[in-house]
Chain A
Protein backbone atom coordinates (compact mmCIF):
# COMPACT_ATOMS: atom_id res chain seq x y z
CA UNK A 1 0.00 0.00 0.00
CA UNK A 2 1.29 3.39 -0.92
CA UNK A 3 1.27 5.69 2.02
CA UNK A 4 -1.06 8.64 1.91
CA UNK A 5 1.72 10.96 2.97
CA UNK A 6 3.93 9.97 0.06
CA UNK A 7 1.06 10.48 -2.33
CA UNK A 8 0.44 13.95 -0.94
CA UNK A 9 4.12 14.85 -1.19
CA UNK A 10 4.18 13.69 -4.79
CA UNK A 11 1.16 15.83 -5.63
CA UNK A 12 2.88 18.90 -4.21
CA UNK A 13 6.07 17.98 -6.04
CA UNK A 14 4.17 17.63 -9.31
CA UNK A 15 2.63 21.07 -8.81
CA UNK A 16 6.01 22.64 -8.14
CA UNK A 17 7.47 20.90 -11.15
CA UNK A 18 4.76 22.38 -13.36
CA UNK A 19 5.60 25.82 -11.99
CA UNK A 20 9.28 25.22 -12.77
CA UNK A 21 8.43 24.05 -16.30
CA UNK A 22 5.96 26.75 -17.20
CA UNK A 23 7.04 29.81 -15.20
CA UNK A 24 9.74 30.85 -17.71
CA UNK A 25 7.27 30.59 -20.58
CA UNK A 26 4.51 32.33 -18.64
CA UNK A 27 6.80 35.21 -17.72
CA UNK A 28 7.77 35.67 -21.35
CA UNK A 29 4.13 35.79 -22.42
CA UNK A 30 3.16 38.03 -19.50
CA UNK A 31 5.79 40.70 -20.09
CA UNK A 32 5.13 40.76 -23.83
CA UNK A 33 1.90 42.57 -22.92
CA UNK A 34 3.68 45.12 -20.74
CA UNK A 35 2.91 48.74 -21.53
CA UNK A 36 6.40 49.86 -20.54
CA UNK A 37 9.81 48.71 -21.71
CA UNK A 38 10.67 46.53 -18.74
CA UNK A 39 10.68 42.89 -17.79
CA UNK A 40 10.96 43.53 -14.09
CA UNK A 41 7.89 45.72 -13.52
CA UNK A 42 4.48 45.30 -15.14
CA UNK A 43 2.82 48.67 -15.68
CA UNK A 44 -0.30 47.77 -17.63
CA UNK A 45 -1.71 45.77 -20.52
CA UNK A 46 -0.76 46.79 -24.03
CA UNK A 47 -0.52 45.28 -27.49
CA UNK A 48 1.95 47.88 -28.71
CA UNK A 49 4.88 45.44 -28.97
CA UNK A 50 2.89 43.17 -31.25
CA UNK A 51 1.92 46.11 -33.42
CA UNK A 52 5.57 47.11 -33.68
CA UNK A 53 6.49 43.56 -34.46
CA UNK A 54 4.27 43.32 -37.49
CA UNK A 55 5.41 46.68 -38.75
CA UNK A 56 9.05 45.62 -38.52
CA UNK A 57 10.04 44.25 -41.93
CA UNK A 58 13.03 42.37 -40.55
CA UNK A 59 10.89 40.49 -38.05
CA UNK A 60 8.18 39.65 -40.56
CA UNK A 61 10.74 38.22 -42.97
CA UNK A 62 12.37 36.29 -40.08
CA UNK A 63 8.95 34.85 -39.30
CA UNK A 64 8.52 33.80 -42.91
CA UNK A 65 11.98 32.22 -42.96
CA UNK A 66 11.24 30.30 -39.77
CA UNK A 67 8.01 28.86 -41.16
CA UNK A 68 9.51 28.01 -44.56
CA UNK A 69 12.55 26.38 -42.97
CA UNK A 70 10.52 24.29 -40.53
CA UNK A 71 7.93 23.08 -43.07
CA UNK A 72 10.27 22.51 -46.00
CA UNK A 73 12.86 20.61 -43.99
CA UNK A 74 10.22 18.54 -42.19
CA UNK A 75 8.42 17.51 -45.38
CA UNK A 76 11.66 16.50 -47.08
CA UNK A 77 12.91 14.71 -43.98
CA UNK A 78 9.70 12.71 -43.57
CA UNK A 79 9.89 11.47 -47.15
CA UNK A 80 13.61 10.65 -47.14
CA UNK A 81 13.64 9.38 -43.56
CA UNK A 82 10.49 7.30 -44.07
CA UNK A 83 12.02 5.61 -47.12
CA UNK A 84 15.23 5.02 -45.19
CA UNK A 85 13.39 3.51 -42.22
CA UNK A 86 11.50 1.22 -44.57
CA UNK A 87 14.63 0.35 -46.53
CA UNK A 88 16.49 -0.64 -43.38
CA UNK A 89 13.59 -2.86 -42.37
CA UNK A 90 13.14 -4.48 -45.73
CA UNK A 91 16.81 -5.01 -46.58
CA UNK A 92 18.36 -5.21 -43.13
CA UNK A 93 20.14 -8.46 -43.84
CA UNK A 94 21.87 -7.18 -46.91
CA UNK A 95 25.38 -5.97 -47.34
CA UNK A 96 24.25 -2.55 -46.22
CA UNK A 97 23.70 -3.34 -42.55
CA UNK A 98 26.67 -1.17 -41.56
CA UNK A 99 24.74 1.82 -42.88
CA UNK A 100 22.56 1.66 -39.77
CA UNK A 101 25.44 3.31 -37.91
CA UNK A 102 24.93 6.37 -40.08
CA UNK A 103 21.68 6.91 -38.25
CA UNK A 104 23.32 7.14 -34.87
CA UNK A 105 25.96 9.65 -35.90
CA UNK A 106 23.70 12.74 -35.88
CA UNK A 107 22.16 11.53 -32.63
CA UNK A 108 25.38 11.56 -30.61
CA UNK A 109 27.07 14.49 -32.29
CA UNK A 110 26.86 17.75 -30.30
CA UNK A 111 24.86 20.49 -32.07
CA UNK A 112 27.76 22.83 -32.10
CA UNK A 113 30.09 20.34 -33.80
CA UNK A 114 27.33 19.50 -36.27
CA UNK A 115 26.81 23.20 -37.02
CA UNK A 116 30.43 24.14 -37.58
CA UNK A 117 31.13 20.98 -39.59
CA UNK A 118 28.29 21.93 -41.94
CA UNK A 119 29.41 25.55 -42.06
CA UNK A 120 33.05 24.83 -42.93
CA UNK A 121 31.96 22.22 -45.47
CA UNK A 122 29.50 24.57 -47.19
CA UNK A 123 32.17 27.29 -47.29
CA UNK A 124 34.68 24.90 -48.87
CA UNK A 125 32.17 23.73 -51.49
CA UNK A 126 31.08 27.28 -52.18
CA UNK A 127 34.65 28.45 -52.73
CA UNK A 128 35.32 25.75 -55.29
CA UNK A 129 31.99 25.22 -57.04
CA UNK A 130 30.08 28.41 -56.33
CA UNK A 131 27.05 26.49 -55.05
CA UNK A 132 25.65 26.16 -51.52
CA UNK A 133 26.27 29.71 -50.42
CA UNK A 134 24.91 30.21 -46.89
CA UNK A 135 21.18 30.85 -46.90
CA UNK A 136 17.81 29.17 -46.54
CA UNK A 137 18.99 26.38 -48.85
CA UNK A 138 21.93 25.38 -46.69
CA UNK A 139 19.77 25.65 -43.58
CA UNK A 140 17.16 23.29 -45.05
CA UNK A 141 19.90 20.81 -45.96
CA UNK A 142 21.34 20.95 -42.45
CA UNK A 143 17.95 20.53 -40.81
CA UNK A 144 16.97 17.63 -43.06
CA UNK A 145 20.25 15.92 -42.21
CA UNK A 146 19.56 15.93 -38.48
CA UNK A 147 15.85 15.16 -38.88
CA UNK A 148 16.22 12.14 -41.17
CA UNK A 149 17.64 9.72 -38.56
CA UNK A 150 14.82 10.40 -36.10
CA UNK A 151 12.16 9.85 -38.75
CA UNK A 152 13.89 6.69 -39.93
CA UNK A 153 14.08 5.34 -36.37
CA UNK A 154 10.37 5.95 -35.70
CA UNK A 155 9.22 4.42 -38.98
CA UNK A 156 11.60 1.49 -38.55
CA UNK A 157 10.39 0.85 -34.99
CA UNK A 158 6.78 0.76 -36.18
CA UNK A 159 7.62 -1.72 -38.94
CA UNK A 160 9.50 -3.97 -36.50
CA UNK A 161 6.42 -4.08 -34.28
CA UNK A 162 4.30 -5.52 -37.11
CA UNK A 163 3.78 -9.20 -37.77
CA UNK A 164 6.12 -10.23 -40.64
CA UNK A 165 3.37 -12.45 -42.02
CA UNK A 166 1.42 -9.34 -42.88
CA UNK A 167 4.05 -8.48 -45.44
CA UNK A 168 3.82 -11.86 -47.06
CA UNK A 169 0.07 -11.65 -47.23
CA UNK A 170 0.36 -8.25 -48.77
CA UNK A 171 2.84 -9.58 -51.30
CA UNK A 172 0.32 -12.19 -52.39
CA UNK A 173 -2.47 -9.66 -52.52
CA UNK A 174 -0.90 -6.87 -54.50
CA UNK A 175 1.48 -7.39 -57.34
CA UNK A 176 2.78 -3.90 -57.98
CA UNK A 177 5.04 -2.24 -55.43
CA UNK A 178 3.07 1.00 -55.65
CA UNK A 179 -0.09 -0.91 -54.76
CA UNK A 180 1.62 -2.38 -51.72
CA UNK A 181 2.79 1.06 -50.72
CA UNK A 182 -0.58 2.69 -51.32
CA UNK A 183 -2.91 0.10 -49.81
CA UNK A 184 -0.75 -1.51 -47.14
CA UNK A 185 2.35 0.43 -46.09
CA UNK A 186 0.94 3.93 -45.95
CA UNK A 187 -2.10 2.95 -43.89
CA UNK A 188 -0.11 0.93 -41.33
CA UNK A 189 2.61 3.56 -41.14
CA UNK A 190 0.22 6.48 -40.81
CA UNK A 191 0.67 6.89 -37.03
CA UNK A 192 4.45 6.61 -37.30
CA UNK A 193 4.57 9.09 -40.17
CA UNK A 194 2.38 11.50 -38.28
CA UNK A 195 4.43 11.33 -35.11
CA UNK A 196 7.70 11.58 -37.00
CA UNK A 197 6.33 14.63 -38.81
CA UNK A 198 5.59 16.25 -35.45
CA UNK A 199 8.93 15.21 -34.00
CA UNK A 200 10.87 16.50 -37.02
CA UNK A 201 8.90 19.74 -36.91
CA UNK A 202 9.68 20.29 -33.23
CA UNK A 203 13.34 19.40 -33.80
CA UNK A 204 13.49 22.10 -36.44
CA UNK A 205 11.67 24.67 -34.33
CA UNK A 206 13.85 23.91 -31.32
CA UNK A 207 17.13 24.23 -33.18
CA UNK A 208 19.17 27.38 -32.92
CA UNK A 209 22.83 26.41 -33.11
CA UNK A 210 22.78 24.62 -36.45
CA UNK A 211 20.65 27.34 -38.05
CA UNK A 212 22.95 30.01 -36.65
CA UNK A 213 26.06 28.54 -38.26
CA UNK A 214 24.50 27.78 -41.64
CA UNK A 215 22.44 30.98 -42.10
CA UNK A 216 23.21 33.65 -44.66
CA UNK A 217 22.48 37.38 -44.70
CA UNK A 218 18.95 36.98 -46.01
CA UNK A 219 17.84 33.92 -44.08
CA UNK A 220 17.58 35.20 -40.52
CA UNK A 221 15.04 33.21 -38.51
CA UNK A 222 13.19 34.36 -35.41
CA UNK A 223 15.56 32.62 -32.95
CA UNK A 224 18.55 34.18 -34.71
CA UNK A 225 16.84 37.57 -34.61
CA UNK A 226 16.15 37.16 -30.90
CA UNK A 227 19.72 36.03 -30.30
CA UNK A 228 21.14 39.29 -31.60
CA UNK A 229 18.37 41.37 -30.01
CA UNK A 230 18.82 40.09 -26.45
CA UNK A 231 22.40 41.31 -26.31
CA UNK A 232 20.70 44.61 -25.51
CA UNK A 233 18.73 43.01 -22.72
CA UNK A 234 15.38 41.28 -22.83
CA UNK A 235 12.76 43.72 -24.11
CA UNK A 236 8.99 43.30 -24.40
CA UNK A 237 9.53 43.15 -28.15
CA UNK A 238 11.75 40.07 -27.74
CA UNK A 239 9.16 38.61 -25.40
CA UNK A 240 6.46 39.25 -27.99
CA UNK A 241 8.37 37.36 -30.69
CA UNK A 242 9.03 34.56 -28.22
CA UNK A 243 5.33 34.46 -27.33
CA UNK A 244 4.45 33.92 -30.98
CA UNK A 245 6.78 30.94 -31.07
CA UNK A 246 5.48 29.54 -27.79
CA UNK A 247 1.94 29.90 -29.13
CA UNK A 248 2.77 28.00 -32.27
CA UNK A 249 4.39 25.22 -30.25
CA UNK A 250 1.28 24.94 -28.07
CA UNK A 251 -0.73 24.58 -31.27
CA UNK A 252 1.53 21.74 -32.40
CA UNK A 253 1.13 20.14 -28.98
CA UNK A 254 -2.63 20.40 -29.19
CA UNK A 255 -2.55 18.95 -32.66
CA UNK A 256 -0.43 16.02 -31.53
CA UNK A 257 -2.82 15.38 -28.65
CA UNK A 258 -5.76 15.29 -31.07
CA UNK A 259 -3.79 13.08 -33.44
CA UNK A 260 -3.17 10.63 -30.60
CA UNK A 261 -6.83 10.45 -29.80
CA UNK A 262 -7.70 10.15 -33.46
CA UNK A 263 -5.51 7.14 -34.20
CA UNK A 264 -5.80 4.35 -31.68
CA UNK A 265 -2.58 2.73 -32.89
CA UNK A 266 -0.57 5.89 -32.34
CA UNK A 267 1.66 5.51 -29.35
CA UNK A 268 2.92 8.45 -27.37
CA UNK A 269 5.46 10.04 -29.66
CA UNK A 270 8.81 10.31 -28.00
CA UNK A 271 9.12 14.03 -28.26
CA UNK A 272 11.99 16.25 -27.47
CA UNK A 273 15.07 17.66 -29.03
CA UNK A 274 17.81 16.07 -30.91
CA UNK A 275 19.99 14.26 -28.44
Chain B
Protein backbone atom coordinates (compact mmCIF):
# COMPACT_ATOMS: atom_id res chain seq x y z
CA UNK B 1 0.00 0.00 0.00
CA UNK B 2 2.74 2.42 0.93
CA UNK B 3 4.60 1.58 -2.28
CA UNK B 4 1.47 2.46 -4.23
CA UNK B 5 1.17 5.77 -2.43
CA UNK B 6 4.84 6.47 -2.97
CA UNK B 7 4.48 5.48 -6.63
CA UNK B 8 1.61 7.90 -7.11
CA UNK B 9 3.58 10.56 -5.27
CA UNK B 10 6.52 10.01 -7.55
CA UNK B 11 4.27 10.16 -10.62
CA UNK B 12 2.80 13.41 -9.39
CA UNK B 13 6.28 14.76 -8.83
CA UNK B 14 7.24 13.68 -12.33
CA UNK B 15 4.26 15.46 -13.86
CA UNK B 16 4.92 18.58 -11.82
CA UNK B 17 8.59 18.44 -12.78
CA UNK B 18 7.74 18.06 -16.47
CA UNK B 19 5.37 21.00 -16.40
CA UNK B 20 7.96 23.06 -14.59
CA UNK B 21 10.52 22.01 -17.20
CA UNK B 22 8.18 22.94 -20.02
CA UNK B 23 7.71 26.37 -18.49
CA UNK B 24 11.44 26.90 -18.10
CA UNK B 25 11.93 25.71 -21.67
CA UNK B 26 9.40 28.20 -23.02
CA UNK B 27 10.95 30.98 -20.96
CA UNK B 28 14.38 30.22 -22.43
CA UNK B 29 12.88 30.18 -25.93
CA UNK B 30 11.28 33.57 -25.37
CA UNK B 31 14.50 34.99 -23.91
CA UNK B 32 16.59 33.75 -26.82
CA UNK B 33 14.12 35.24 -29.30
CA UNK B 34 14.01 38.53 -27.43
CA UNK B 35 17.81 38.89 -27.48
CA UNK B 36 18.12 37.98 -31.15
CA UNK B 37 19.13 41.47 -32.18
CA UNK B 38 22.73 40.33 -32.00
CA UNK B 39 22.14 38.13 -35.01
CA UNK B 40 21.80 41.27 -37.08
CA UNK B 41 24.39 43.38 -35.28
CA UNK B 42 27.09 40.75 -35.28
CA UNK B 43 26.35 38.27 -38.06
CA UNK B 44 29.90 36.95 -37.76
CA UNK B 45 28.89 35.07 -34.62
CA UNK B 46 25.93 33.43 -36.36
CA UNK B 47 28.04 32.67 -39.38
CA UNK B 48 30.61 30.95 -37.18
CA UNK B 49 27.90 28.79 -35.64
CA UNK B 50 26.46 27.88 -39.02
CA UNK B 51 29.94 26.68 -39.85
CA UNK B 52 30.28 24.54 -36.74
CA UNK B 53 26.77 23.19 -36.86
CA UNK B 54 26.11 22.96 -40.58
CA UNK B 55 29.38 22.44 -42.40
CA UNK B 56 30.57 19.84 -39.95
CA UNK B 57 27.33 17.89 -40.32
CA UNK B 58 27.40 17.98 -44.11
CA UNK B 59 29.39 14.81 -44.55
CA UNK B 60 27.18 12.57 -42.43
CA UNK B 61 24.01 14.06 -43.90
CA UNK B 62 25.18 13.65 -47.49
CA UNK B 63 26.41 10.09 -47.02
CA UNK B 64 23.25 9.11 -45.15
CA UNK B 65 21.13 10.71 -47.85
CA UNK B 66 22.97 8.77 -50.50
CA UNK B 67 22.44 5.44 -48.77
CA UNK B 68 18.81 6.18 -47.97
CA UNK B 69 18.33 7.00 -51.65
CA UNK B 70 19.99 3.71 -52.63
CA UNK B 71 17.72 1.74 -50.31
CA UNK B 72 14.60 3.60 -51.43
CA UNK B 73 15.50 2.87 -55.03
CA UNK B 74 16.02 -0.81 -54.32
CA UNK B 75 13.04 -1.41 -52.07
CA UNK B 76 10.82 0.78 -54.16
CA UNK B 77 11.71 -1.15 -57.27
CA UNK B 78 10.98 -4.54 -55.68
CA UNK B 79 7.54 -3.41 -54.56
CA UNK B 80 6.53 -1.45 -57.66
CA UNK B 81 7.73 -4.24 -59.92
CA UNK B 82 4.98 -6.51 -58.59
CA UNK B 83 2.35 -4.11 -59.94
CA UNK B 84 4.16 -3.32 -63.14
CA UNK B 85 4.60 0.27 -62.05
CA UNK B 86 8.37 0.40 -61.74
CA UNK B 87 8.44 3.53 -63.88
CA UNK B 88 6.94 5.37 -60.92
CA UNK B 89 10.15 4.77 -58.93
CA UNK B 90 11.31 8.35 -59.40
CA UNK B 91 8.04 9.61 -58.03
CA UNK B 92 8.22 7.24 -55.08
CA UNK B 93 11.76 8.22 -54.16
CA UNK B 94 11.19 11.95 -54.57
CA UNK B 95 7.94 12.06 -52.63
CA UNK B 96 9.27 9.94 -49.78
CA UNK B 97 12.32 12.14 -49.45
CA UNK B 98 10.91 15.63 -49.85
CA UNK B 99 7.83 15.01 -47.73
CA UNK B 100 9.14 12.82 -44.92
CA UNK B 101 12.56 11.24 -44.96
CA UNK B 102 14.47 14.37 -45.84
CA UNK B 103 13.30 16.53 -42.93
CA UNK B 104 12.86 13.73 -40.40
CA UNK B 105 16.03 11.69 -40.89
CA UNK B 106 18.08 14.87 -41.18
CA UNK B 107 16.58 16.13 -37.93
CA UNK B 108 17.33 12.85 -36.15
CA UNK B 109 20.93 12.88 -37.37
CA UNK B 110 21.15 16.55 -36.48
CA UNK B 111 19.99 15.86 -32.94
CA UNK B 112 22.63 13.20 -32.62
CA UNK B 113 25.53 15.09 -34.15
CA UNK B 114 24.98 18.80 -33.71
CA UNK B 115 22.57 18.64 -30.79
CA UNK B 116 24.91 16.68 -28.56
CA UNK B 117 27.89 18.85 -29.40
CA UNK B 118 25.91 21.99 -28.57
CA UNK B 119 24.76 20.53 -25.26
CA UNK B 120 28.21 19.31 -24.32
CA UNK B 121 29.84 22.60 -25.26
CA UNK B 122 27.48 24.71 -23.20
CA UNK B 123 27.48 22.26 -20.30
CA UNK B 124 31.27 22.31 -20.20
CA UNK B 125 31.36 26.09 -20.50
CA UNK B 126 29.12 26.15 -17.48
CA UNK B 127 31.36 23.69 -15.64
CA UNK B 128 34.45 25.73 -16.43
CA UNK B 129 32.83 28.88 -15.08
CA UNK B 130 33.06 30.50 -18.50
CA UNK B 131 29.41 31.55 -18.39
CA UNK B 132 29.82 33.03 -14.91
CA UNK B 133 32.94 34.87 -16.10
CA UNK B 134 30.95 36.32 -18.98
CA UNK B 135 28.21 37.46 -16.66
CA UNK B 136 30.67 39.16 -14.38
CA UNK B 137 32.25 40.85 -17.39
CA UNK B 138 28.83 42.39 -18.02
CA UNK B 139 28.27 40.26 -21.11
CA UNK B 140 24.91 38.52 -21.25
CA UNK B 141 25.72 34.82 -21.81
CA UNK B 142 22.32 34.11 -23.39
CA UNK B 143 22.86 36.82 -25.96
CA UNK B 144 26.49 36.01 -26.60
CA UNK B 145 26.44 32.21 -26.48
CA UNK B 146 22.92 30.83 -26.90
CA UNK B 147 21.33 33.14 -29.45
CA UNK B 148 23.97 32.78 -32.21
CA UNK B 149 23.86 29.00 -31.80
CA UNK B 150 20.07 29.01 -32.00
CA UNK B 151 20.00 30.91 -35.28
CA UNK B 152 22.92 28.88 -36.60
CA UNK B 153 20.95 25.70 -36.04
CA UNK B 154 17.71 27.08 -37.46
CA UNK B 155 19.47 28.20 -40.63
CA UNK B 156 21.58 25.06 -41.02
CA UNK B 157 18.74 22.54 -40.66
CA UNK B 158 16.71 23.31 -43.83
CA UNK B 159 19.94 23.46 -45.83
CA UNK B 160 20.95 20.03 -44.57
CA UNK B 161 17.47 18.60 -45.22
CA UNK B 162 17.46 19.92 -48.78
CA UNK B 163 20.90 18.45 -49.39
CA UNK B 164 19.73 15.12 -47.94
CA UNK B 165 16.72 15.03 -50.27
CA UNK B 166 18.75 16.02 -53.31
CA UNK B 167 21.47 13.45 -52.67
CA UNK B 168 18.80 10.84 -51.94
CA UNK B 169 17.05 11.41 -55.23
CA UNK B 170 20.36 11.12 -57.03
CA UNK B 171 21.02 7.93 -55.09
CA UNK B 172 17.66 6.55 -56.13
CA UNK B 173 18.49 7.47 -59.71
CA UNK B 174 21.83 5.69 -59.51
CA UNK B 175 20.21 2.48 -58.29
CA UNK B 176 17.07 2.67 -60.40
CA UNK B 177 18.41 3.88 -63.71
CA UNK B 178 22.09 3.00 -63.72
CA UNK B 179 22.01 -0.30 -61.88
CA UNK B 180 18.55 -1.74 -62.46
CA UNK B 181 17.88 -0.16 -65.82
CA UNK B 182 14.63 1.75 -65.50
CA UNK B 183 14.05 4.28 -68.25
CA UNK B 184 15.71 7.53 -67.20
CA UNK B 185 13.15 9.68 -68.93
CA UNK B 186 10.26 7.96 -67.20
CA UNK B 187 12.09 8.26 -63.88
CA UNK B 188 12.34 12.05 -64.06
CA UNK B 189 9.11 12.86 -65.88
CA UNK B 190 6.91 10.88 -63.52
CA UNK B 191 8.69 12.59 -60.67
CA UNK B 192 8.20 16.03 -62.12
CA UNK B 193 4.52 15.53 -62.79
CA UNK B 194 3.88 14.17 -59.34
CA UNK B 195 5.96 16.30 -57.01
CA UNK B 196 4.34 19.63 -56.34
CA UNK B 197 6.66 22.46 -55.40
CA UNK B 198 4.31 24.03 -52.88
CA UNK B 199 2.74 20.96 -51.39
CA UNK B 200 5.75 18.72 -51.24
CA UNK B 201 9.02 20.59 -51.47
CA UNK B 202 8.04 23.71 -49.54
CA UNK B 203 6.17 21.76 -46.91
CA UNK B 204 9.26 19.65 -46.46
CA UNK B 205 11.33 22.81 -46.02
CA UNK B 206 8.83 24.17 -43.52
CA UNK B 207 9.02 20.91 -41.59
CA UNK B 208 12.79 21.06 -41.48
CA UNK B 209 12.71 24.64 -40.17
CA UNK B 210 10.36 23.64 -37.37
CA UNK B 211 12.47 20.59 -36.56
CA UNK B 212 15.55 22.82 -36.53
CA UNK B 213 13.95 25.15 -34.02
CA UNK B 214 12.86 22.28 -31.81
CA UNK B 215 16.11 20.31 -31.80
CA UNK B 216 18.39 23.33 -31.42
CA UNK B 217 16.30 24.69 -28.57
CA UNK B 218 16.29 21.36 -26.77
CA UNK B 219 20.06 21.06 -27.16
CA UNK B 220 20.62 24.59 -25.82
CA UNK B 221 18.18 24.09 -22.96
CA UNK B 222 19.78 20.84 -21.82
CA UNK B 223 23.25 22.35 -21.97
CA UNK B 224 22.18 25.48 -20.14
CA UNK B 225 20.61 23.49 -17.32
CA UNK B 226 23.19 20.72 -17.12
CA UNK B 227 24.88 20.03 -13.80
CA UNK B 228 28.46 21.25 -14.12
CA UNK B 229 29.95 17.78 -13.59
CA UNK B 230 31.05 15.09 -16.06
CA UNK B 231 28.02 13.02 -15.14
CA UNK B 232 25.74 16.01 -15.47
CA UNK B 233 26.98 16.81 -18.96
CA UNK B 234 26.70 13.19 -20.03
CA UNK B 235 23.11 13.01 -18.80
CA UNK B 236 22.29 16.25 -20.55
CA UNK B 237 23.60 15.06 -23.91
CA UNK B 238 21.60 11.85 -23.58
CA UNK B 239 18.47 13.87 -22.87
CA UNK B 240 19.15 16.04 -25.89
CA UNK B 241 19.17 13.05 -28.21
CA UNK B 242 16.18 11.36 -26.63
CA UNK B 243 13.97 14.44 -26.22
CA UNK B 244 15.06 15.85 -29.55
CA UNK B 245 14.29 12.66 -31.45
CA UNK B 246 10.93 12.20 -29.76
CA UNK B 247 10.04 15.82 -30.41
CA UNK B 248 10.94 15.46 -34.08
CA UNK B 249 8.81 12.34 -34.52
CA UNK B 250 5.89 13.83 -32.61
CA UNK B 251 6.02 17.11 -34.51
CA UNK B 252 6.32 15.18 -37.76
CA UNK B 253 3.04 13.43 -37.09
CA UNK B 254 1.34 16.74 -36.24
CA UNK B 255 2.74 18.55 -39.25
CA UNK B 256 1.99 15.72 -41.66
CA UNK B 257 -1.59 15.65 -40.47
CA UNK B 258 -1.83 19.42 -40.90
CA UNK B 259 -0.08 19.71 -44.22
CA UNK B 260 -0.93 16.63 -46.16
CA UNK B 261 -4.52 15.95 -45.26
CA UNK B 262 -6.95 17.03 -47.89
Are A and B subunits of one complex? no
